[in-house]
Amino acid sequence: MPVTKGCQQLIAEARARITTLTLEQAAARLQDPETVFVDIRDVRELEREGLIPSALHAPRGMLEFWVDPDSPYFKPVFAEPKTFVLYCQSAWRSSLATATLLDMGMTNVCHFDGGFKAWKAAGLPTEERQRN
């Protein structure tokens, strides 16, 4: 069966209904204790590229399960009354993930334009992934 709606259309539809911060707005929240940056990239991307300081790594494939309190994989951080700023490499996956979390009922979620690639290009703070 042919694809009738491509990934770019899905991303555009998601972006039409989610909050997208500029890089400047996202960077201004970096020291805000009420904001949690959530890196949804694959662990190999974190190892290769680094991540935003103090970001929580929540792999895209597990995000819904980590957010849902009824899931055996639930992570309590997602129940905290904070703003969650999702990001990936280019803001495609984070657009879709943010829309999914809105669909799940979270209203305290957004992402930022350009993703980690734009963050690094702007010279904003990064750190190496700490191995557990």
87 — pLDDT class (breaks 50, 70, 90): very high
Put residue 124 in one of left, alpha, beta given phi > 0 → left and psi -120 to 50 → alpha: beta
* CATH class of the region 18-121: alpha beta
Chain centre to alpha carbon of residue 105? 16
Burial of residue 105 (CB within 10 Å: 0-12, 13-18, 19+) is exposed
Give the contacts of 93 (CB within 8 A, at least 6 positions apart).
40, 41, 60
DSSP calls for 13-66: HHHTTS-EE-HHHHHHTTT-TTEEEEE-S-HHHHHHH-B-TTPEE--GGGHHHH
Chain centre to alpha carbon of residue 48? 18
Q: In this predicted structure, what is the pLDDT of residue 108?
A: 97
Render pLDDT for 37-65 as a digit per residue (tens, 0 to 9): 999 999 999 999 999 999 999 999 999 99
- Over 80: is that where the pLDDT of 132 sits? no
